[in-house]
Structure 1
């Protein structure tokens, strides 16, 4: 084994022992391609629909969590799972056209989009590790993915209590936490990530992907308005300012 490969694997093993002692080290030693990291193809994704496609390891853990929740009369429903680069591009460009047509400058339109939506090629949903969840047994509001639905008298309040108490037992962690000091994407109490796979994918993403070049190469509408300053801020706030338990060990 080459020295740099040994250092890489040893570091990741240390991360597993320090933060997630129950994780399998095999998932941490995998290397990922550019296409896997930006959502342009992944042989580990299984499922046949927008809400069922996940990384095979995440799918197995999710099914175990779903069975456990059912014992508490909670029926976990996936609203969104794996999302391809092309799908995210369609969503982004549709919003970009709408906002600019309404009179916003390209820069303001981009800022408005990234309050909740990711730029294509940067979404955690590209990895098949991240899922948006609701309780199908609860009364269904018109807009399911709203923070108020998960707190107070919201229909998913009990579900959120259950997730807070149990999700980490299945290696799922809330990504965009309700932390007043956190920047980037707003609070998403429905968004959970399967850490044994998403942590090494984030690590390799940071090492391999030049975000500005990638977006230029993929000819994303509006990408010419992504300044170096914007990209740096977006990486620091929207990609990395997440639940610390989901960050790779430095």
Structure 2
């Protein structure tokens, strides 16, 4: 049975957690993790969590049209006027998911920062903020050491994922792994064919490749790798 919520439709059962929507089990574990981090002087805050298909579509189309910046691997803006459609598609995918392919549709994934060290208004979600000397470096180090104790891990890691490393993005793997195993490329294709999405032709022409790289190619969780089969 297909689950439309996996692709950002028919919103899954979520709860409000500090103004953000999460799966109930994910929210409960996050509360515990926030309490543990607070004991070490770290204020774990969410800057992004659940996004539905249409919200992700708006982000995608804004980047494809130049209304939002498209960044290179070093988080520098790219002149998209110099790119072919396929080059632009790849450039956007470096940091942003296609609608229907975002883990943020699941209520299991969230972007975090240390509210004791930086305000959300100042946050850019770039690598330097989470590296040595950055305001969220302490948070990142704490999460590397402790996140798995609460069921969370980093799905986007260097050399282990199709997406560029995101030291701010955590996934609640007990639920996320089951969503990943249920993902169906044909259900996604139907949704994209019906959507008013920029770069639709190259997306559909390369969909199997894109799903393999940007959905299935993520760092293995502590549960072990998910090895889904793309149905022909």
TM-score range, shorter chain: 0.7 to 0.9
Which residue does 1:242 correspond to in 2?
218
Shift of 1:127: 0.4
Whether 1:146 aligns to 2:114 is no
Deviations 1:13-40 (A, max 9, x none): xxxxxxxxxxxxxxxxxx7622x11111
Shift of 1:103: 5.1
Q: Unpaired segments of 5 or more residues in structure 1?
A: 1-30
Residue 119 of structure 1, aligned match among 93, 98, 104: 98
Whether 1:170 aligns to 2:150 is yes
Deviations 1:34-53 (A, max 9, x none): 2x11111234112288x511
Deviations 1:78-112 (A, max 9, x none): 01000011100011011111289835332222121
Which residue does 1:71 correspond to in 2?
39
Which residue does 2:139 correspond to in 1?
159
Count of residue pairs brought into register by the alignment: 214
* Higher deviation after alignment, 190-199 or 92-101: 92-101
Residue 84 of structure 1, aligned match among 42, 52, 59: 52
Compare the two structures and name the one with the higher helix fraction: 1
**Contact kept in structure 2, 1:134 and 1:144, CA below 8 Å:** no
Output the TM-score relative to the length of structure 2: 0.83
Larger Rg computed on CA atoms: 1
Output the TM-score relative to the length of structure 1: 0.77
**Contact kept in structure 2, 1:132 and 1:191, CA below 8 Å:** yes
Cα separation, partners in 2 of 1:190 and 1:244, compared to 1, 3 Å? same
Shift of 1:177: 1.0
**Contact kept in structure 2, 1:202 and 1:247, CA below 8 Å:** no
Which secondary structure state, in structure 2, belongs to the residue aligned with residue 79 of structure 1? strand
**Contact kept in structure 2, 1:184 and 1:234, CA below 8 Å:** no
Deviations 1:53-73 (A, max 9, x none): 111111111111111111111
Whether 1:218 aligns to 2:195 is yes
Pairwise CA RMSD: 2.4
**Contact kept in structure 2, 1:76 and 1:133, CA below 8 Å:** yes
Which secondary structure state, in structure 2, belongs to the residue aligned with residue 47 of structure 1? strand
Which residue does 1:233 correspond to in 2?
209
Whether 1:54 aligns to 2:19 is no
Which secondary structure state, in structure 2, belongs to the residue aligned with residue 74 of structure 1? coil
Which secondary structure state, in structure 2, belongs to the residue aligned with residue 244 of structure 1? coil
Separation in 1 of the partners of 2:118 and 2:204? 44
Shift of 1:227: 4.6
